[in-house]
Chain A
Amino acid sequence: MKFQIPIGPQHPALKEPISLRMTVEGEVIRDVDIRLGYNHRGLEKLAEEKSWIQNIYLTERICGICSHSHATCFVQGVEKLMELAPPKRGMYIRYLVSELERVHSHLLWLGVAGHEAGFDSFFMYTWRDREVVMDLLELISGNRVHYAMNTIGGVRRDIDEGQKAKILEGVEVLKKRSEYYFKIGANEPSFVARLAGVGMLSKEQAETLCAVGPTARASGITRDVRKEDPYAVYDEMDFAVGTAASCDVLGRVVVRVKELMESYKIIEQILHKLPPGEIVVKAPRKAKPNEVVSRYEAPRGENIHYIKSNGSDKPERLKVRAPTLANYPATVEMLRNGFIADIPLIFAAIDPCICCAERTVTLVNFRNGEETTVLLSDLRRRAAEIHRNAPPKRNAVWPF
């Protein structure tokens, strides 16, 4: 007997609300169908009608969590089109905000992973620590989410010695707290057992399905745009690409914990090397006809913008590919042959905005066509029940 479970589509706060229709056999998912576009905003069309400067603020609003990523990706492309060389200090501040944003996004995700796995103390710890980095971002930009730091030719706000000292202080606190996450698996075998073996994505699958970011790196692919295609300041920084070979949700946790530590390293290097000087150069209003491919490693994976100019003050074409879209085909494979109870965990593991899925899970009973709507919290409760009595996976090892 096969059932179908639709998940989605109404996720009002999500960039790309998604409808997943799963065919299940008992508790096991056999097939997943994906449907996008429930909240398509026509942003690429809109961008063609806005000037270069207006588009910075438009691209910043593509995502609410990694807002700086899209704006930076756009701006570094436009700077190439306009043949501008932004001053070094401006670049350092821009990528300082990038790394702080990565820290806040990863801390947020670790909390979500803990929550979905039924480990709510971990969720509370990470989100408390996240306040530290949110405060730092507010100190730099005046905002907690949309920093509006970027402008064509540099950044809009400078940082002074006092702020520098405060950021270093904050990073020191975060570093200490993050060391606890390294030990978390050793102290909490049930957490490791819940994550190990869930949402498997082999290296071959990740490669053929073009997965990006921590999802790909957890499957043993060392693809990181900061290393492969070192844009701006990254060729001057010393950092490692965090990978894991376990190919499951545990691996994705491990990759993000490793990346947190690397981000702290980069933030410290940026602050210690911060050169004096200007933060911005004057940009022309128009760009010559040309084209550019701009790549950027966002917290969720590679962000790519293709920008084409036509000599006017507006782009001819702006193509945006956000990392979550690239990870959808891989998500389908991760969900296949998994359990219904693991849906929240696996889907959260690619780091989409899942908060709004709370009210849109419907179970369809195919025997009598009856539909029952369950809350995600209910699904989570079912998951917790199933796994309460399950024996811990003996072979699951915390890799630190």
Chain B
Amino acid sequence: MSDADIIQRLRQDLGAQALELTNPDLRRIYLKVAPSDLVAAVTLLRDKYDCAYLATVSGVDKGETFEILYHFASPAANINVRTEISKASPHIESICPVIPGAILYERELQDMFGMVVDHIPDPRPLVMPDDWPAANFPLRKDWKFERPAERIPGGKL
């Protein structure tokens, strides 16, 4: 199945749900959906487009909004589902009921960007240490690393 065929079929299946559908490179398809249509779109991809394999989930801080990309791969093409949520209320529905392998990537999103993944089966922190200060999300653009002052135990301050 060629890229053009996949795009054609996606347009038919998704209708108005597909906000944007581009094919900038061979075997690379970018699809944009609204956050409310995400789970439906992912289910469709899994069932009809042989995209049970989720390569990873990327988050991008775009200033006012967060962009989330779900990189799927089928034997025919690499389909990237993109959605955008506001930074003020960063809620996104979990896709784990559809793709169980997404759990680690969604937990990483919560840790790194402070997004809230609703109905995630396991919301504990994944990569951040237990004593990490709350509301510090390293991959947000406004977060800067400041090295804590070095203190020698028992030494002078």
User: Residues on A close to B: CB < 8 A?
Assistant: 35-38, 40, 42, 44-45, 80, 207-211, 223, 228-229, 290, 292-293, 295, 302, 304, 306, 308, 316-317, 319, 321, 325-326, 328-330
Tell me the dominant secondary structure on chain A's binding face: mixed
* B80–A293 CB distance below 8 A: yes
Complex alpha-carbon distance, A38 and B129, angstroms: 7
- Which A residues lie within 8 Å of B117 (CB)? none
- Which B residues lie within 8 Å of A330 (CB)? 101
Q: Which of chain B's residues has its CB closest to A221's CB?
A: B53
Count of A-B contacts with CB under 8 A? 85
- Which A residues lie within 8 Å of B21 (CB)? none
Which residues of chain B from 60 to 81 have a CB within 8 Å of any chain A CB?
A: 60-61, 69, 71, 73, 75, 78, 80
Q: Which of chain B's residues has its CB closest to A223's CB?
A: B53
* A325–B104 CB distance below 8 A: yes
Complex alpha-carbon distance, A211 and B80, angstroms: 18
Given the known inter-chain contacts A80-B25, A293-B80, A295-B78, please indicate yes or no for A319 contacting B99, CB distance below 8 A: no
* A208–B101 CB distance below 8 A: yes
* A306–B104 CB distance below 8 A: no
* B127–A36 CB distance below 8 A: yes
B89 nearest CB across to chain A (Å)? 22
Q: List 6 A-B contacts (CB under 8 A).
A: A38-B129, A207-B53, A208-B99, A319-B58, A321-B56, A329-B103
B52 on the interface (CB 8 Å rule)? Answer: yes
* B138–A37 CB distance below 8 A: no
B55 on the interface (CB 8 Å rule)? Answer: yes
* B127–A208 CB distance below 8 A: no
| Partner of B78 from A35, A42, A293, A308 at Cβ < 8 Å | A293
Tell me the dominant secondary structure on chain B's binding face: mixed
Q: Give the 9 A-B CB pairs with smallest separation, nearest first.
A: A210-B101, A37-B127, A321-B56, A319-B58, A209-B101, A306-B58, A304-B55, A317-B60, A40-B127
| Partner of B139 from A45, A228, A302 at Cβ < 8 Å | A45
* B73–A228 CB distance below 8 A: yes
Q: Which of chain B's residues has its CB closest to A322's CB?
A: B56
- Which B residues lie within 8 Å of A37 (CB)? 111, 125-129
B80 nearest CB across to chain A (Å)? 6
Complex alpha-carbon distance, A328 and B138, angstroms: 23
- Which A residues lie within 8 Å of B27 (CB)? 229
A34 nearest CB across to chain B (Å)? 8
- Which A residues lie within 8 Å of B58 (CB)? 306, 317, 319
B31 nearest CB across to chain A (Å)? 13
Complex alpha-carbon distance, A228 and B79, angstroms: 13
A247 nearest CB across to chain B (Å)? 17
Given the known inter-chain contacts A44-B139, A293-B78, A329-B104, please indicate yes or no for A306 contacting B71, CB distance below 8 A: yes
B20 nearest CB across to chain A (Å)? 13
Complex alpha-carbon distance, A208 and B59, angstroms: 22
- Which B residues lie within 8 Å of A319 (CB)? 56, 58-59
* B100–A209 CB distance below 8 A: yes
Question: Would you give the 0/1 interface string for B16-28, flagging 1 where the beta carbon is closer than 8 Å to chain A?
Answer: 0000000011011
Complex alpha-carbon distance, A316 and B103, angstroms: 25
B38 on the interface (CB 8 Å rule)? Answer: no
Complex alpha-carbon distance, A44 and B143, angstroms: 13
Given the known inter-chain contacts A325-B104, A328-B104, please indicate yes or no for A316 contacting B60, CB distance below 8 A: yes
| Partner of A208 from B25, B75, B100, B139 at Cβ < 8 Å | B100
Which residues of chain B from 21 to 60 have a CB within 8 Å of any chain A CB?
A: 24-25, 27-28, 52-56, 58-60
Complex alpha-carbon distance, A229 and B73, angstroms: 9
* B60–A308 CB distance below 8 A: yes
Complex alpha-carbon distance, A141 and B28, angstroms: 33
Question: Could you list 4 further interchain pairs (A-B, Cβ under 8 angstroms) beyond the known A36-B127, A211-B101, A326-B55?
Answer: A207-B52, A210-B52, A223-B75, A316-B60
- Which A residues lie within 8 Å of B75 (CB)? 223, 228
* B53–A306 CB distance below 8 A: no
B90 nearest CB across to chain A (Å)? 16
Interface hub of B24, B28, B71, B73 (most chain A Cβ within 10 A): B73
